[in-house]
Homo-oligomer: A and B are copies of this chain.
Amino acid sequence: MNQKAFQDYYPDHMAHCYGCGRLNEFGHQIKSYWDENNPQESVAYFIPEPHHTAIPGYVYGGLLASLIDCHGTGTAAAAAYREVERPMDSEPALRFLTGSLHVDYYKPTPLGVTLEIRGKVKEANGRKIVIEEWIIAKGVITVRGEVVAVQVPDGLVKELLENAEK
């Protein structure tokens, strides 16, 4: 894809997330985009590592939850910027953290294939954006999930960073 991913717009202090931070060299570095063919939906692709097992041959549920989490907050941020018709690196910053996460495991998700993680806005209500998501493996939806993303002032993020244990 030629588009820049949602996560590529995150400023450095928001780019260390284990799930999606481009600056976390140990992390998953997932990349989410609006689907060019269906711009109401966002999409990310991810190939789990062989050791991301639940039982051998199937993807660990905690990883699937992580993909739902990061693709969800990324989609929430992108939707918020799109709503006000601004690029994702423009000021004032719109930052989202996960308020809650729900995942339903419908079928075992096979390892060794590219997973497609899709999302769309289900509800936007003030500082709260609910993203509905699903994961597809070999053409089959194996997981459905939902993230409640909560907008936090960038000042609060910076305050948390200052208060963190060094």
Give the one of A56, A102, A103, A166 with max B CB within 10 A: A56
Chain B residues, CB < 8 A from A161:
55-57
Copies, count: 2
For A, the interface residue count at a CB cutoff of 8 angstroms equals 50
Known: A161-B56, A165-B57. A105 touches B112 (CB 8 A): no
The distance from the CB of A65 to the nearest CB of chain B, in whole angstroms, is 4
- Contact present for B110 and A100 (CB under 8 Å): no
Task: Tell me, in angstroms, the Cα distance from A7 to B49 when the chains sit together.
Answer: 22
Q: List 21 A-B contacts (CB under 8 A).
A: A13-B56, A16-B53, A17-B53, A18-B53, A19-B60, A25-B51, A56-B164, A57-B160, A57-B166, A61-B66, A61-B101, A62-B62, A62-B63, A62-B67, A63-B66, A65-B69, A66-B66, A99-B104, A101-B101, A102-B102, A110-B164
Residues of A within 8 A of B (CB): 13-14, 16-19, 21, 24-27, 49, 51-58, 60-63, 65-67, 69-70, 97-105, 108, 110-113, 157, 160-161, 163-166
